[in-house]
Amino acid sequence: MRAMHFHFHDPYQPLDSPIHRLDPRVKLALTLGFILTVTLLPAGAWSSYALMGAAAWTWACFSGLGIRNVIRRSMPALLFVLAALPGIFTAPGPSWLMFRLGPCLVSVQAEGVIRILSVFLKSWLSVQIAVILIGTTAVPDLLVAMRSIGVPRFLVMTFGLMWRYLFLLTDEAIRMLRAREARSVASELPGRRGGGSLTWRARVTGQMVGALFLRTLERGERIYMAMVARGYDGEVRMLSIPRLSQQDLTVLVGGALFLIGALSLGWIL
């Protein structure tokens, strides 16, 4: 029987770093401010993009996560470029490159190239800072920070339950895969997989996905009713929320001034 390697790992890494020791409210506020600043930067503000990237990589170094780890986990940002790809050909302005694709003459616009590069950098930087946030802040602390800065209770409850049910979904999937492996017979012929045709495999996979959804839904409802029976009302509570220290306030004010400066630099240049 083949060994299964199907796990869902918590991205939080309990290290001892200056970023880990910061108050979760400060980290969340600066992360949201970072993403908002990057979003508001105009297309082609390369100096500001470089400044924000240097800030994100400095944050990654101080957090102990490492620049390489943060970059590797932020690569899904490349998918956002696909949504902006048609802008290369439809943006107004002079043509930067022209080539023939079959009977059609394709024109690449210079303004479109600038826009798609800007979208890529904005998405990539935003995902990087989000990776650093979830890598240095435990989910319960993050939920408390969200409520502290005024995020609606229903939204915080949705995030919390979604996070817990991800592990529930993974657990159910592992149990089903293990049961399938136990009931499957491997082919004795070398290089030949067991099972039927591709259509048969697709049908079995669809049935497993449907069964997984139903089993996860039923188990999630039982867990939620048990939580309600024990007094859960969607509110994230702690014994006491400490006040921000002088160091936390200094980092918060300094980070806010940096973001305002980077945004102003982007629009001025």
What integer best gives the mean pLDDT of the chain? 81
**Residue located via tokens 């004010």:** 253
Q: What is the dihedral of CA 68, 69, 75, 76, to 10 degrees?
A: -170
DSSP state of 214: H
Closest by alpha carbon to 29, among 241, 236, 256, 263? 256
**Distance spanning both ends of the chain, measured CA to CA:** 62
Query: Residue 6: its pLDDT value, please?
Result: 44
Query: Residue 255: its pLDDT value, please?
Result: 92
Confidence of residue 97 (pLDDT cuts 50, 70, 90): low
**Residue located via tokens 């024109």:** 107
Please say if the pLDDT value at position 5 is more than 50. no
d(CA 81, CA 37): 19
d(CA 177, CA 240): 43
256, two tokens:
């806010």
Please say if the pLDDT value at position 8 is more than 60. no
d(CA 145, CA 241): 9
Query: Residue 43: its pLDDT value, please?
Result: 86
CA angle 16, 22, 23 (to 5 degrees): 130
Query: Residue 2: its pLDDT value, please?
Result: 42
- pLDDT, tens only, 49-70: 999 999 999 999 999 998 998 9
Coil vs helix vs strand at 112: helix
- pLDDT, tens only, 178-231: 877 777 666 666 656 655 567 777 787 788 888 888 887 887 788 888 888 888
What does R_g of the chain's alpha carbons equal in angstroms? 24
d(CA 91, CA 222): 53
Mean pLDDT on 81-88: 71
Closest by alpha carbon to 55, among 265, 255, 266? 255
Q: Check residues 233 and 210 and name the one with the higher pLDDT.
A: 210
